[in-house]
Amino acid sequence: MTSTLVEYFSGVHNRLPEEAERVVRTLEDGGPMNKEELSLTAKVKRAVLDHVIMQLYALGLVDVATEGKSKMCSLTKLGYEYLELRDAS
Protein backbone atom coordinates (compact mmCIF):
# COMPACT_ATOMS: atom_id res chain seq x y z
CA MET A 1 0.00 0.00 0.00
CA THR A 2 1.40 3.37 -0.95
CA SER A 3 0.18 6.80 -0.01
CA THR A 4 1.16 10.26 -1.01
CA LEU A 5 2.93 12.64 1.32
CA VAL A 6 -0.27 14.68 1.58
CA GLU A 7 -2.23 11.61 2.71
CA TYR A 8 0.51 10.68 5.17
CA PHE A 9 0.60 14.17 6.69
CA SER A 10 -3.19 14.24 6.89
CA GLY A 11 -3.07 11.02 8.89
CA VAL A 12 -0.32 12.45 11.09
CA HIS A 13 -2.37 15.57 11.78
CA ASN A 14 -5.43 13.52 12.74
CA ARG A 15 -3.45 11.37 15.19
CA LEU A 16 -1.42 14.04 16.97
CA PRO A 17 -2.77 15.85 20.02
CA GLU A 18 -3.91 19.45 19.50
CA GLU A 19 -0.85 20.70 21.42
CA ALA A 20 1.39 19.37 18.64
CA GLU A 21 -0.02 21.89 16.17
CA ARG A 22 0.71 24.73 18.59
CA VAL A 23 4.26 23.49 19.13
CA VAL A 24 4.97 23.19 15.40
CA ARG A 25 3.47 26.62 14.66
CA THR A 26 5.45 28.19 17.50
CA LEU A 27 8.69 26.73 16.18
CA GLU A 28 7.82 27.99 12.71
CA ASP A 29 7.15 31.51 13.99
CA GLY A 30 9.87 31.75 16.63
CA GLY A 31 12.59 29.50 15.32
CA PRO A 32 14.61 27.14 17.51
CA MET A 33 13.99 27.47 21.25
CA ASN A 34 14.57 25.57 24.45
CA LYS A 35 11.79 23.57 26.06
CA GLU A 36 11.05 26.15 28.76
CA GLU A 37 10.60 28.95 26.24
CA LEU A 38 8.65 26.64 23.91
CA SER A 39 6.33 25.59 26.72
CA LEU A 40 5.55 29.20 27.61
CA THR A 41 5.26 30.46 24.04
CA ALA A 42 3.12 27.56 22.76
CA LYS A 43 1.06 27.55 25.97
CA VAL A 44 1.64 23.83 26.49
CA LYS A 45 2.28 22.37 29.95
CA ARG A 46 5.84 21.12 30.33
CA ALA A 47 4.85 17.48 31.03
CA VAL A 48 2.64 17.47 27.93
CA LEU A 49 5.33 19.24 25.90
CA ASP A 50 7.86 16.47 26.56
CA HIS A 51 5.39 13.88 25.28
CA VAL A 52 4.48 15.95 22.21
CA ILE A 53 8.12 16.69 21.36
CA MET A 54 8.97 12.99 21.43
CA GLN A 55 6.07 12.23 19.06
CA LEU A 56 7.14 14.99 16.66
CA TYR A 57 10.77 13.85 16.92
CA ALA A 58 9.81 10.24 16.11
CA LEU A 59 7.93 11.47 13.03
CA GLY A 60 10.96 13.48 11.93
CA LEU A 61 9.18 16.83 12.14
CA VAL A 62 11.23 18.25 15.03
CA ASP A 63 14.88 17.97 15.95
CA VAL A 64 16.13 18.09 19.55
CA ALA A 65 19.72 19.10 20.22
CA THR A 66 21.53 19.46 23.52
CA GLU A 67 23.19 22.81 24.19
CA GLY A 68 24.73 22.78 27.65
CA LYS A 69 21.93 21.83 30.02
CA SER A 70 19.21 22.93 27.59
CA LYS A 71 17.40 20.90 24.97
CA MET A 72 16.91 23.05 21.88
CA CYS A 73 13.94 22.18 19.66
CA SER A 74 13.69 23.15 16.01
CA LEU A 75 11.70 22.20 12.93
CA THR A 76 13.32 19.87 10.43
CA LYS A 77 13.02 20.18 6.67
CA LEU A 78 10.23 17.59 6.84
CA GLY A 79 8.54 19.70 9.53
CA TYR A 80 8.49 22.70 7.21
CA GLU A 81 7.11 20.52 4.39
CA TYR A 82 4.40 19.29 6.77
CA LEU A 83 3.39 22.90 7.46
CA GLU A 84 3.41 23.83 3.77
CA LEU A 85 1.13 20.92 2.90
CA ARG A 86 -1.15 21.60 5.88
CA ASP A 87 -1.48 25.25 4.85
CA ALA A 88 -2.18 24.31 1.23
CA SER A 89 -5.08 22.01 2.12
pLDDT digits (tens, 9 = 90+) for 51-84: 999 999 999 999 999 988 889 999 999 999 888 8
CATH number at residue 49: 1.10.10.10
pLDDT digits (tens, 9 = 90+) for 36-47: 999 999 999 999
Q: What is the SS3 assignment for 33?
A: strand
Stated pTM of the model: 0.86
The residue range of the domain holding 33 is 5-88
Q: What is the SS3 assignment for 70?
A: strand
65 phi, psi to nearest 5 deg: -120, 145
CA distance 32 to 25: 12
Q: What is the SS3 assignment for 4?
A: coil
| Count of domains forming the chain | 1
